[in-house]
Structure 1
Amino acid sequence: MAWVKFVREGIEIEVNAGMSVLEAEIRAGLRPDAPCGGLGKCGKCLVKINGEVVKACQVRIGEGETCVVETLDRAGNEKILTDGFNREVVFEPGLRMAQVELEKAKTGEKRSDWQRLLDTLAETDGEVELGQMEVDLKLAGELYGMRRDSDEWYVIYSRRRILEMRKEAGRRCLAAFDIGTTTIAGYLLDGADGRTLAVESRMNPQVQYGADVIMRANYALEHGTEALSMCVRKAVNEMLGSLAEDAGIRREDVFQVCVVGNTCMHHLFLGISPASLVHAPYTPAVSERLVLNAGDYGLAVQARAELIMLSDIAGYVGADTCGCLLAIRQDQQEEISLMIDIGTNGEMVL
């Protein structure tokens, strides 16, 4: 074992002998700049050791050594585009709310508490499809006690599940994230009227493992996906906290989180190996639209909140392009049009 002391940050950590200073920086949570993924080519991971400026990725820490590292100043003043112009659309979110009365079971009643709740909800909202609603065993077990507490309840639900039942209407919000190779942009929306409540952006912390998707995919193949997945999930979770604070809401008021990104970012966020993306014929492991439990992916929002991952289109045309198409709706235009997404990776749709 060995020790690394980061003077500027006041951090000292224990590491395995033979680890590079760059890897130690990542372990210490410093998020170093390493576009080449630690190959020693870009010269961006410079630090000062014993008065000498060196590449952090090329310095290995010896057994029993205490390496004193001085990180260098980095600008940190990146500007990320998060606004633009919008088109007017009919606001019809997948998140809905209705006020229902919990009916008492009648003598000889065959329906369960859960079925009576769904039937009442369907009578209130004619668009509810009972066959698509998942059974929530925990909530079903609480309905009898809830009815004794109060007859009137507000139900917040999506097309596939009941997310919460509460006595007061309260707030219900939606969050959307575009996970780019270089940057992440996040938006918080009011679930009642679609207003943008807050906007947040930051650099994608995965850049410390390489600047582009190929480097990150190779890193994942060599070391596994955990480091890449956990750091981007942590960033999104931190952004959710900032968005909620800026909007003056609780994290628990966020009921749906929608995420887009290129296919590699999509796979790494979910912890899926990108092996199929880096070998011919370069196909995604999964391309279908997914509705998952947000809490399972480290997002501290409402307990039953949904994580919606839009569809990927191909190995190198991802859900971010799907999001662009939904935003501009080229299919509804009579003339031929070209959409161009110029980012770290670029896509075009004619």
Structure 2
Amino acid sequence: MPQQVRAVVARSKGAPVEVVTINVPDPGPGEALVQVQACGVCHTDLHYREGGINDDFPFLLGHEAAGVVEAVGPEVTGVQPGDFVVLNWRAVCGQCRACKRGDLQYCFATHNATQKMTLADGPDAGTELSPALGIGAFAEKTLVAAGQCTKVDPSARAAAAGLLGCGVMAGLGAAINTGALTRGKSAAVIGCGGVGVAAVAGAALAGASPIIAVDIDAKKLEAARKMGATHTVDSSQEDPVARIKEIAAEYYDGADGADVVIEAVGRPETWQQAFYARDLAGTLVLVGVPTPDMKVPDLPLIDFFGRGGALKSSWYGDCLPSRDFPMLVDLYQQGRLDLDAFVSEEIGIDDVEAAFDKMHHGDVLRSVVVF
């Protein structure tokens, strides 16, 4: 029978979120019902609330989650009840052009649950909900496609492991997968919120040096240093492009910038800084999420041609959850990746709106709802 659970919903653009009761169907073919244990409060959820992604209100928010599979529908073989899983929004289809050519991390047709969760009470009872990134995990239980469940070590702390579901994976992957950082390469990260600090951690895991963190907030720069930044730059006090070039040249004779510059803000002016902070033939990785009205700065085409290299965007850190989540949880369990450092606070389901305010003021890397 369908179950009723508490969940966080955004009813209209810019309105405060509400905790309501929703209906969660029994899993159908290819679906899984997951009892959510923890879910991070990600900036993407705020984008949904503000109408920055689409206007398919009401939204069931939350997507950076870990929990336990409670039930599965017919035709599900990859997970079973009792499995501890991190939820993902890249349940690959296996049939699109990207999948068939072996680039599963770029799947064009990722799976979501077919059935809809709905509002349970009030005049809008029965209204279908749009789950954030096809997940909707600010809820005691949620219904997802079985492929959105990635099994990981069940002894891992849910509040930390769940962050791999979006922001931390996006940052780590921007450095390791998209930027292809290795030993002997330098890295700069512009913007040190949760995703940017994760990119710093990814650069450190890859063995890059130096790792230069750029922000205007001293607290964020300190967090970046703790996660592996060798240098920090307060871009409100000095020119970040000039400083990145200076630091890179101290490490590598003839360097004219960092080999990989990761832009984790999503604004034209910081993207332009990243463009010019690259070394010749360097790589720019955009992982910060821009709004639809933002445009690439007006750059002389000769500057693009003359510097060479690559301009990339990083979708979900170009990750493949089945490959990357278990590996990163293992690194966490070994003490080599400090996922706990990203958990600024653990909160209840009624505290999501306050967590958005803390995020806006830069007071947290991640608030995590714990059920």
Please give the range of the TM-score, normalised by the shorter of the 2 chains: under 0.3
Which structure's relative contact order is higher, taking Cα pairs within 8 Å and 6+ residues apart?
2
TM-score of the superposed pair, with normalisation by structure 1: 0.23
Give the alignment's TM-score, normalised by structure 2.
0.22
* Larger Rg belongs to: 1
